[in-house]
Structures are given as structure tokens and as C-alpha cells.
Structure 1
Amino acid sequence: MAGNLLFPIKIICCLGISWAVYRFFYSIDPNAGLIGLVITLFLWGQLFAKDVLNFFLRVKHQAEYDALACWNGRYYEFDGHHVRFYFHDEQIWIPIADLKPLLKPQAGERELRLLGSEYLILPESRVWAVSESGLDVLLKNRTAHRRADYQMIRFKRWLMQQALPNVRRLPHSSVTGRE
């Protein structure tokens, strides 16, 4: 409460001092009145620097919150790429847009169509997604041979050992988590 009362008092004091200094310099020379205002800028800076910084920090914090609130606790990350998980018909689904930058080589349309019912548009979010079993097929095609990409092996290990068990254990961590 004291902080809220202090701000208007600081403004009134600064305005009073600025007006007095302006009038003093104006009485010496009518063209020198503005010099008095420039001199009082130091006082304004000393009294309001913290308030101005706090204002910009609040604006920055609010902008970050607005930009990331919908993602907060609702995505996972692998090598700097966001990976979302959805629950639909008691099954985990992963958007293909989140998988494309991670799959090496990228999944082609023909390969995705061959997944059949394991690749569809999720009704509540309208994104193309692959089911957990469809993802297993995609990863098996990319990691079964001896020349498998190391990043693909790491990605498969991360999915199977960390991400998917965690989503099953904490369904509210998915985008459409069950409550």
C-alpha cells in the first residue's frame, strides 16, 4: 500500500521542484527557463528509474506469458524441437508437423498414407497426427538397419524411455490431457 501512495507523492514533488527551478531560471532570463527543466531531469531519473525499469520488466513478463501460456507444461522438447502429445480415443497422438524436423529421412506422404488409421486429422485440434503405434512403425523403418542415424536412435530412445511413459503417467501434460 505504501508503494502505491509513494508514486503520486514522488510525481507531485518532482513537478513542484521542476516548476520552482523553471520559475527561478525564467526570472533570470525568459529564455533560460528550459535550462531549469533540463537540470531537474536528473531528479526525475533518480526517483523514477526503478519504476520505469519495473514497468518494462512487467511488459516483458506479460508478453512472454501471453506467448507461452498455451504451451506451459503442455509440450516436450527434444534437441530444441517442440513435440506435442494429444490424447484421442485413449491413445497418444503426435502431430506430424512436430515430427517432420526430427525424422531422418523425412516421412513422405506415401509412407504416411500406408499407416492407414494410425495417421489422421485429430478432430478437436485439426492437425494431422500419428498414433503411438504408427510412430513406432516410422521409427522402426529408420533405426532397424546398421547405418541408422545416431540422432534417430537418440530420438527413439527419448520417446520410448522418457516422453511416452511420462505422458501415460501424467496425461494432463499432453495438449488435450485427460483430467
Structure 2
Amino acid sequence: MTRVTTWLEHDPDARVIRWGWTLWLAWGLVGGALLLNDIGHGTGVLSLILVAPFWGLWLLWPAYRGVRALWNWQSQSAWGEWNGAYYEFDGRQIRILLQRDRIWVVADDVLDALDLQGRQRDAGRIRQISGRDGLVRLPHSRLLTFSEIGIKAWLDRRTDIDAHKFSRWLDKQVIEPYRRRLEMDASEPHNAQHK
């Protein structure tokens, strides 16, 4: 699944950014000097009202660059790897991180989807069933995640119908398609060499 890129992801090159800040600074200096001159001659408030739209435009450049910086920070942060990794089970959002040959499922999303409460949500109890490596915190993340083996072990021990539905959904809608895609990607270079 490829994610559609937004206009914020297409940053102009360094020259455009440098000229943008140069023009912004020049506009601020010249416009500020003229505004101070008008205030000194007693027409400051009227002048400020008349040029307010231009000062609003002047503030757009740092606002745009601030949004760009925030966008870059978010996409490169620990949450960046979860972008586009959302699946839906029974109307509930399930975050699933697919990394090469590993699959990680956010434990809170699974527990919410199965409507588990109280002791059923205890990480220690879940870890006893899923195994030490079955429920872990990923690096650079505070989220507890199930490994593929861990969630299967944990779901196999559950007897409620929702857990069986979730297990089937996970196998048929997430794991099997992902494994097939990995196999196809692995065989493509081999097929390209034979053509």
C-alpha cells in the first residue's frame, strides 16, 4: 500500500528557501521602517489598518516553514514508521508495523478491539502467555506491541469468539497478503534476470 504524498512533503530546494527568508527579512526591515516612520508622524494606526493584509502575508512564510519543520519532525519521529500502517478490524483501528520479515501489532489496539477490561489487559499476564519476546516495547516507542508469534500464542489461548474472529482476520487480511508480497518482491529480481 503506497501513501499519497501531500504538498507539504515536497519541499522547495535550498535556493528557494534562502531567497524566501531573504525577501521575508527585507520586507520586515523596509515595512517596519515605513511603519515606524508613519507612527512617528501620527498616522500609525490608520497605516497599520491599511497595511494589515500585507503584514498578514508577511507572517505566512514563517508559518509555512514552521509547518514544514513540524511535518518533517513528525515523519522522522518514532510515529513516522506507523504512517500508513493502519488496518481496520470490526470498525476498530489496528496499528500494524510491517518490517521486512517481522510483523508488530499494537497491543492496546488488539485489547480495545476485543473489548478486554481490567486484569485481562495486564501486560504481565499477557507476557506469560505470549512469551517474553511476544509482547515488547519497540525501540523509540512507548507502545507495547505483539510480535507475530506472540499474538498467535496469546490468541490461541483465548476462548471467546471475538478472539477467533480476530485471529482469522489477522491471518487472512494481514499476515498472508504481506507474506505473499514479500515472496513476490523477492522473486521479481530473479524473474527480471531471466527475461
- In the other structure, the counterpart of 1:119 is 134
State the percentage of identical aligned residues: 20
Moved more, 41-50 or 106-115: 106-115
Higher helix proportion, which one? 2
1:80 aligns with 2:93: yes
RMSD of aligned residue pairs (Cα, Å): 4.2
Q: Which has the higher contact order (CA 8 A, sep 6+)?
A: 1
1:21 aligns with 2:38: yes
Structure 1, gaps ≥5 residues long: 26-35, 171-179
CA distance in 2, matches of 1:124, 1:13: 50
Asked which structure has the greater CA Rg, the reply is 1
CA distance in 2, matches of 1:57, 1:84: 31
8 Å CA contact 1:14–1:44 kept in 2: the answer is no
Alignment of 1:1-179 (within 5 A): 6-25=23-42, 36-69=43-76, 70-74=78-82, 76-77=85-86, 78=88, 79-85=92-98, 91-94=102-105, 96-97=107-108, 99-105=110-116, 106=120, 109-110=124-125, 112-116=127-131, 119=134, 121=136, 129-142=145-158, 148-149=161-162, 153=165, 155-165=166-176, 167-168=178-179, 169=181
In the superposition, the TM-score normalised over structure 1's length comes to 0.56
In the superposition, the TM-score normalised over structure 2's length comes to 0.52
Structure 2, gaps ≥5 residues long: 1-15, 183-195
2:67 partner amino acid: K
1:161 partner amino acid: K
Q: How many residues align?
A: 154
What is the Cα deviation at residue 37 of structure 1? 1.5
Secondary structure in 2 aligned to 1:100? helix
